[in-house]
Structures are given as C-alpha cells and as structure tokens.
Amino acid sequence: MAKKTRHKGDEAGRPAKTLHVDAEHKAAVGRRLRRIEGQVRGIEQMIEEDRYCVDILTQIAAVHSGLRAVAKETLRHHLRHCVRDAMANDPGSLERTIEELLEVYHRVR
C-alpha cells in the first residue's frame, strides 16, 4: 500500500511535495540500481586488469544508459504521483511545478 505524506512548499518557491512511497516502483528502481552497481564494479575490475579501453568505454556507456533509464522512470513516477497530487491539492502551484520540472529535465538529460 502506498503511503502519502504532504509537505508544504519551501522558501525557495518550490511546490508542495507529496511523498508517495510506491513499493513496486522502489523495487524496480532498486533492481536497476543494483545492476548498475555491479556494472560499475565490473568497470573497476576491467581497469585493474588493464582491459581494452574500448571495452571499458562500452561498459561505461551501458552504465550511463542504465542511469538514464532510472531517471526516466523516476520522472515518470514523479509526474504520475507527486505532480498529479500537487495539482489536485494546490492548483495555484502550476507555475512553480512547471519551473521545477524544467530544472529537473535540464539536469538529467
């Protein structure tokens, strides 16, 4: 069952936040992050073993791709739960929410 906790907006003008703990989302992201963690350890081992640079770069690209997938899924979850709830409970937060999403988008792309 999801747990929701409402937090007020902050002094920086960011919208109020709803923490939505979704067990399925957390499990899926956790699996992806553990896979990425293993890939990073593999890269470290490849470097220690003086493996071919192109092979190392290929694994680094795979880690980047995995992190982008985690970011995309987390953004999807944020939009479907946190933003939807904020808009329903505080329609006046639309502009703040749009600005927050633009900032996040530019950080993770």
| Count of domains observed in the chain | 1
* For residues 20-29, average pLDDT: 85
Q: Residue 34 sits in a domain of what CATH number?
A: 1.20.58.1000
Helix ranges (DSSP H) in the chain: 23-48, 53-77, 84-89, 94-108
Burial (CB < 10 A; 0-12, 13-18, 19+), residue 5, is: exposed
How many CB atoms lie under 10 A from the CB of residue 86? Answer: 22
Higher-confidence residue of 92 and 53: namely 53
Higher-confidence residue of 91 and 73: namely 73
Q: What is the pLDDT of residue 19?
A: 61
Half-sphere exposure of 6 (CA within 13 A, CB side): 8
67 band by pLDDT with thresholds 50, 70 and 90? very high
Task: Print the domain residue range for 51.
Answer: 3-108
Higher-confidence residue of 102 and 6: namely 102
Distance CA 20, CA 32 (A): 20
Q: What is the pLDDT of residue 6?
A: 46
Q: Which residues pair with 3 in a beta bridge?
A: 21
Quick: pLDDT tens for 13-22: 555 555 656 8
Kindly tell me if the per-residue pLDDT of 2 is higher than 50: no
Distance CA 18, CA 23 (A): 15
pTM: 0.74
